[in-house]
Structure 1
Amino acid sequence: MLEMWDLYNGKREKTGKVLPRGVPVPKGLYHLTVSAWIVNSQGQYLLSQRHPQKTYPLCWECTGGSVLAGEDSLSGAVREVKEELGIILNPFKAEMIYHTKREDIQEFYDVWLFHADVDISEITMQETEVVGVQWVNRDGLIDMLHSGKLHPMIDYIEEMF
Structure 2
Amino acid sequence: MEKWDLYNVDRQPLNQTHNRLEAMAKGTYHIVVSIWTVNSQNQVLATLRHPKKDKYPNFWENTAGSVLAGETSRQGARRELLEETGINVEEEALQFLDTIKELTAFVDLYIVRKDVAIEELVMQEGETVDAKWVSLEQLDEMIDKGFIAEPVAQRLVPVRKAIEQLMYGE
- Could you state the TM-score of these two structures normalised by the residue count of structure 1? 0.94
Measure the CA separation in 2 of the matches of 1:62 and 1:125: 13
- Residue 147 of structure 1: how far off its partner (Å): 1.1
Name the structure 2 match of 1:48.
47
Measure the CA separation in 2 of the matches of 1:127 and 1:102: 27
Q: Is the 8 A contact 1:142 1:158 kept in 2?
A: no
Match runs of 1:83-94 below 5 Å: 83-94=83-94
Deviations 1:13-66 (A, max 9, x none): 111000111111111111111111100010000110000011111100001111
- Residue 156 of structure 1: how far off its partner (Å): 3.4
Name the structure 1 match of 2:67.
67
Measure the CA separation in 1 of the matches of 2:157 and 2:30: 25
Measure the CA separation in 2 of the matches of 1:140 and 1:35: 19
The aligned amino acid for 1:111 is L
Q: Is the 8 A contact 1:142 1:157 kept in 2?
A: no
Measure the CA separation in 2 of the matches of 1:11 and 1:156: 20
Measure the CA separation in 2 of the matches of 1:37 and 1:134: 13
Percent of residue pairs bearing the same amino acid type: 40
Moved over 2 A (4+): 156-159
The aligned amino acid for 1:93 is A
Q: Is the 8 A contact 2:5 2:13 kept in 1?
A: yes
Name the structure 2 match of 1:18.
17
Task: Specify which structure has the higher proportion of helix.
Answer: 2
Name the structure 2 match of 1:149.
147
Match runs of 1:110-129 below 5 Å: 110-129=108-127
Name the structure 1 match of 2:136.
138
Instruction: Give secondary structure in 2 for the equivalent of 1:150.
Output: coil
RMSD: 1.0
Instruction: Give secondary structure in 1 for the equivalent of 2:17.
Output: strand
- Residue 95 of structure 1: how far off its partner (Å): 1.2
Confirm or deny that 1:108 pairs with 2:106. Answer: yes
- Residue 157 of structure 1: how far off its partner (Å): 2.4
Instruction: Give secondary structure in 1 for the equivalent of 2:151.
Output: coil
- Could you state the TM-score of these two structures normalised by the residue count of structure 2? 0.89
- For structure 2, the 5+ residue unaligned runs are 162-170
Aligned length: 158
The aligned amino acid for 2:90 is N
Deviations 1:99-145 (A, max 9, x none): 11112xx1111111000001111111112111100000010011111
